[in-house]
Every structure is written in C-alpha cells, then in structure tokens.
Amino acid sequence: MEILGIDIGGSGIKGGIVNVDTGELIVERFRVPTPQPSEPEAVAEAVNDVVKHFSWKGPIGCTFPSVVKNGVVFTAANVDKAWIGTNGQRVLQAHTTCPVLLLNDADAAGMAEMTFGAGIGHMGVVMLLTFGTGIGSAIFVNGHLIPNTELGHLEMRGKDAEDRASERIREEKDLSWEKWGERVNEYMSYLEFLFSPDLFIFGGGVSKKHEKFFQYLNLRAPVVPAALLNDAGIVGAALAAKSLV
C-alpha cells in the first residue's frame, strides 16, 4: 500500500510516497521552504504544492511540530502562533482536497523507527529524540506510544532545552561538536533521570553525523542513530494515515 507522507518543520516541508508495508520511499522526496510567517493558510498552500508535485489524490499523513489532538493544534513553538486552537487537519484537507491525518512530528518519527528502524523489537521504555529547528520527543512503553510529550520544552538552565541543545542552536552559535555534544548530554541525562529509558534513538538530520558527537554522550542507556534518518517523519506520517484507508 502506498500513502503520501508529509513532514512539516519550522524551516522546511518535505514529502514522499511511502510503501507502508516496507517503510521505503518509492520516489525521491520533495521539499519546499516553510512560509514565513508560517500562518495556517500559507503553510497549507505549501503542503498543497507538495501534493501537486506528486499528483497525489489519496490519503495523506502529515506531521506538525506541536501538540496535536484530534487534528487540533494546541502549541506553536516553531511556527506561527495563529496555529494555536486551529483544526489544522481540516485546513489541510480543505487545501489539498484529500483525506488528511495530522499528528505530532516526533510521534510520527518514533512510529517509523519502532516499526521499520532502530526500535524494532525493543520493549521497555524507548525514547526517540529529533534534533533540528527544535527538539522533538516520542516515548514508547512496551511498544505503545505516549503521544505529544514535547520534551524539548523542558526547562534547562532557565530556558527551553531546545534553545540550548537543538541543531539550530549548534549552527547559530557555531558550536564545536564537542561543545554541542556536552549540551546534548546534559539534556539527555536529565531525561534519563526523569524516565529511566532502556534505549535512546537519536533522530533528525544531524543523526547522519552521529560519529562526530556520540563520543561526548555519557549515559546509562544505549544511544543509537535513527535508521531512517531524516525520512522518519515522512514514513511515520504515512504509516499513521493507514487508518484513513
């Protein structure tokens, strides 16, 4: 079965057609910049550009960097505040004229990794973290997702953790891999104290460079790079949208 997965981020919107039985993208993914300001109508039009690129007419799974419940957006840390209280699922359906399932971005990435990637077969507490514009989180307990955890907004040194340890901060402050790795380790150590995970899966685009900073992580739980790298959100979105079929 093939479903279009779309991953909305703070800086880019990327999508691809996914074989949801294997987790593979069957075409090269397509990306457009996230509009600035990233208001609902503008983002929905950009999402529709991705849909039109693939000439897609079927169900769509779509991620969003926010707490999402029944299609309604409740937070907006890295997108326009106009999203708060908006039924984003309905907005996207109206613009694409396709059935849409909207869910938290890290939850989608976690679903992909647990089904097709680094989390296969792992029980206990598994935490997936995505490092990009912000920090996303997904927690699985014996394979079951606890949705909308948004642990990138835990306070660390008087600010959101993602404002100290995201990939965006590494680039903005031109941090060395060692300095950034130390910040990431501090954040993950805090998560380890709170949740005692059995496995960390490190995701986001920076995961493909894990050999540059994993040596600076000193944690009890094993840490592994996401197998699907930065495609995990697309794959997980498509996987979640199987419920629309």
Averaged in consecutive runs of 10 residues, what is the pLDDT profile of the chain (245 residues)?
95 96 96 96 98 97 96 93 97 98 97 97 96 94 97 95 96 98 98 98 92 97 94 96 91
* CATH number of the domain located at residue range(s) 2-107+232-244 in this protein: 3.30.420.40
Decide whether 2-107+232-244 matches 122-226 in CATH topology: yes
CA distance 206 to 204: 5
- Per-residue DSSP letter, 45: H
CATH topology of domain 122-226: Nucleotidyltransferase; domain 5 (3.30.420)
Sequence-ordered list of residues with C-beta below 8 angstroms from that of 183, at least 6 positions apart, any chain:
164, 165, 169, 175
What per-residue confidence (pLDDT) applies to 133? 86
3-state SS class at 85: coil
- Domain range annotation of the chain: 2-107+232-244, 122-226
What per-residue confidence (pLDDT) applies to 245? 81
Q: How does pLDDT run across 25-72, given as a tens digit for each residue?
A: 999 999 999 999 999 999 999 999 999 999 999 999 999 999 999 999
Three-state SS string across 146-158, please?
ECCCCHHHCEECC
Q: Smallest Cα–Cα separation from 147: which of 181, 112, 120, 110?
A: 110
What per-residue confidence (pLDDT) applies to 114? 98
190 within 8 A of 213, measured Cβ to Cβ: no
